[in-house]
Structure 1
Amino acid sequence: MGILCEILFDKNPKRIFYTGQSLHGSIRITLKNDKYVRGIFVKINGAAITICKADNFGEDCLNDRLEIIGDTRLAAGTHEFPFQFKIPTQLPSSYEGEYGFIRYMVTVSVDIPKIPRKEFEKRIIILRLTDLKDTELQRQVAVTGRFNPYFVCSCLPWFPLKIDAYIDHTAYAPGSNIELEINVTNRSFCKIHGFEAQLIKEVTYVPVLQSIEILKEVKLRGCLQNHKYTVCFGCFIEVPPTSATNLISKVIKIRHFIRITALMRKKCRPVIEVPVTIVTASENQR
């Protein structure tokens, strides 16, 4: 065909872009001979796809297209054309998982008469940028659990064990610390030997697949049985590098939470879960 095409992001060699910002690039086309071109188009698209044994499920996240040039004749040699897209704010971040992925692609299409349309692709990474100074994300999160450690299933309205858990904010970026506080009122006759606090990433792939990963685990002290007073203790959990929470996609959903387990008798391990939002924040907020 005698056409070479490069998709360039000179100011962004890692090809990482953020929602709400502009994507700048250029197309460099090299022709061996003069060519009549019906059009050169560039499009940006994204899709979330789950890979199952029986079938694949997917959804389009992004689909935008620009015409770079229309009917024209290009001389032999190298031609460069800039392009720009505005990235929407409500997009899920790029993700590569065990049973699926969320991917974004920039594609250049060259339409020449009597020749099959030629397409050139380059994958990019889009991350959803979140402002941690948002007042909604600054709110404290509190979860309370009431338990009867004597019965696995009981209809008795008596719950002598109460566990309250708090985290100081709703959202965190990787590298930051989650301040966890636990208040325990144990009026039961069962000793709590200790607590486990696990930061967990749960990924759900439509229709039924799921993966769970423990990102961090902290051991905490317990408390005696038949204790009349509330015992308070806490810890810091550092957020490691991980995928951002994603509840936007209908196909791949990523949620994070802290699972707090009271270590008591063998068959009694009360559990509460504190939801956490992990985000991609700008560098000055990390």
Structure 2
Amino acid sequence: MGFDEGKIVFDNGTGVYFTGQTISGKLIFDEESELTFRGIYVIFKGYCKVHWRTANTMILNGRQITTHYVNHNSYEEYFNEKFYLVGSENGEEMIKPGHHEYSFEFLIPPDCPSSLEGTAGHIRYELTAVVERGLKTDPEKMALVQIIAPLDLNTEPDVNKSVELTLEKVFHSWFVRSGSVEAVVKLPRAGYCPGQSIPIEVSCTNIGSVPIEAIALKLVKEITFHASGTKTEKETLTELKLEEVPANTTRSFTVELVVPATDSLNVKNCRYIDIDHQVQVTLKPHGFHRATSKSHKILIGTIPLLRPLAAASKNKMAQQTVPDVNHASFI
């Protein structure tokens, strides 16, 4: 038993906090013998780190000559605070055998980005407790804190405006025009929250002899890492496929894409990682004809837009109900 078998315990039981909140908890351990040290301190650090590696190979006369590797790195800190729980850098302390608990508190700055784990980078918040003995390697314990940065859609410009996409495609067979297709896709607004549905209206007019086998609708998340270049990872969060639109027909659809309940990361205040969400529409024609796609950016927030409700009756004035943002879903 001892410090090495101890633990960091957060008062809220989860280690998940919002920006602007106070992190509080305890360092707990049991000692079997007397322990002499300078001090015990905790460091709370928030940072972004981006890293990936690329290979440039030189080939001469069909033979590989050499391969040069390039490391792409970026780093920034949001805070780095140190606080002594007992003792000091120049002090000398002694604790007796038994059970020991030391409390700590930190205020999370309100402008931090959300925690994130990506393939080429991450945003992390680490709480480290250290027993300072003046040795080269002082014993320490570390715990990760998950920070959520709320994003109020009501403060973002243009997200309450409707969205419209028009896709057009002309088909040719042996250099002769064989038809065309036009699809109009409409969304009532450009801002949503996890768990909400995105209502989508699709109208597709197919003129000619080429059937449209399917219309695919996707909600796509794109994470871009910046470090002497860029690297992007994409993930399809949800997808729907509409039925065929035969030749010389017009069809209309009304569907919904549900925003996954686990997807809401606000990294606006991070310089080296960007997150974008897009609704992507793809028309897939029959045969050898290429598909055509178009997308529009939407914003995924944590506090939903305020929306008016319909009038309760014809004789009453329409009222607007504001949701309780204190009970909004933060994921």
Q: Which moved more, 1:180-189 or 1:40-49?
A: 180-189
Q: Which one-letter code corresponds to 2:240 in the other structure?
A: V
Supply the distance in 2 between the matched residues of 1:36 and 1:223 (Cα, whole angstroms).
76
Deviates more, 1:193-202 or 1:262-271: 262-271
Cα distance in 2 for residues equivalent to 1:189 and 1:3:
76
Task: Select between 21-30 and 186-195 the one with higher mean Cα deviation.
Answer: 186-195
The 3 A distance-change label for structure 1 pair 240 and 114 is: closer
Give the Å deviation of 1:94.
Answer: 2.3
Question: Which residue identity is paired with 1:57?
Answer: N
- 1:157 counterpart residue number: none
Other-structure match for 1:52? 53
Q: Which residue of 2 aligns with 1:285?
A: 328
Which residue identity is paired with 1:83? F
Contact 1:245–1:255 (8 Å) recurs in 2: no
Cα distance in structure 1, aligned partners of 2:195 and 2:158:
17
Q: Which residue of structure 1 lines up, in the alignment, with residue 64 of structure 2?
A: none
Aligned length: 275
AA partner of residue 200 (structure 1): V
Q: Does residue 64 in structure 1 map to residue 80 in structure 2? A: yes
Task: Note if contact 1:36-1:73 (Cα within 8 Å) is conserved in structure 2.
Answer: yes
Q: What letter is aligned with 1:75?
A: I
1:238-249 → structure 2 map (5 Å cutoff): 238-245=258-265, 248=268, 249=270
Amino acid at match of 1:93: S
TM-score when scaled to structure 2? 0.67
CA distance in 2: counterparts of 1:51 and 1:283, whole angstroms: 39
> Is residue 163 of structure 2 the alignment partner of residue 142 of structure 1?
yes
> Which runs of no fewer than 5 residues in structure 1 stay unpaired?
152-159
* 1:202 aligned residue (206, 218, 222): 222
- 1:143-182, aligned counterparts within 5 Å? 143-145=164-166, 147-150=168-171, 163-182=183-202
Q: Secondary structure at the match of 2:170?
A: coil
Task: Name whichever of 91-100 and 131-140 sits farther off.
Answer: 131-140
Look up the equivalent residue of 1:9 and give its one-letter code: F
**Which residue of 239, 242, 246 corresponds with 1:220?**
242
Give the direction of change, closer, same or farther, for the CA distance of 1:221–1:190 in structure 2 (3 Å limit).
same
> Greater shift after overlay, 183-192 or 117-126?
183-192
Distance 1:173 1:46 in 2: 26
Identify the range of structure 1 (250-259 vs 114-123) with the bigger mean alpha-carbon deviation. Answer: 114-123
Alpha-carbon RMSD across the aligned residues, in angstroms, is 3.6
CA distance in 2, matches of 1:215, 1:276: 13
Choose 1 or 2 for highest CA Rg.
2
Counterpart in the other structure of 2:103: 82
Aligned to 2:296: 274
Residue 11 to residue 145, structure 1, CA distance change in 2 (3 Å): same
Question: Structure 1: how far apart are the matches of 2:94 and 2:114?
Answer: 38
In 1: Cα distance, 2:45 partner to 2:230 partner: 29
Q: Shift in Å at residue 129 of structure 1?
A: 2.1
Name the CA distance, whole Å, in 1 between partners of 2:37 and 2:117. 40
Q: In structure 1, how many angstroms separate the alpha carbons of the residues matched to 2:42 and 2:165? A: 55
Distance 1:6 1:103 in 2: 19
Aligned to 2:256: 236
Letter in 1 for 2:188: D
Residue identity opposite 1:284 in structure 2:
H
The change in CA–CA distance for 1:52 and 1:17 in structure 2 (over 3 A counts) is farther
Q: CA 1:7/1:133 → structure 2, altered by over 3 Å: closer, same or farther?
A: same
Counterpart of 1:76, as a letter, is K
Measured in 2, the distance between the counterparts of 1:234 and 1:139 equals 20
Q: Secondary structure of 1:92's partner?
A: coil
Deviations 1:76-98 (A, max 9, x none): 24443322222233333223333
- Separation in 1 of the partners of 2:156 and 2:43? 39
* Distance (whole Å) between structure 2 residues aligned to residue 280 and residue 264 of structure 1: 38
What secondary structure does 1:49 align onto? strand
**What is the aligned-residue identity percentage?**
22
- Judge conservation of contact 1:45–1:106 (CA < 8 Å) in 2: no
Checking the alignment, whether the CA contact within 8 Å between 2:37 and 2:132 is kept in structure 1 is: no
- C-alpha change, 1:195 and 1:148, in structure 2 (3 Å) is closer
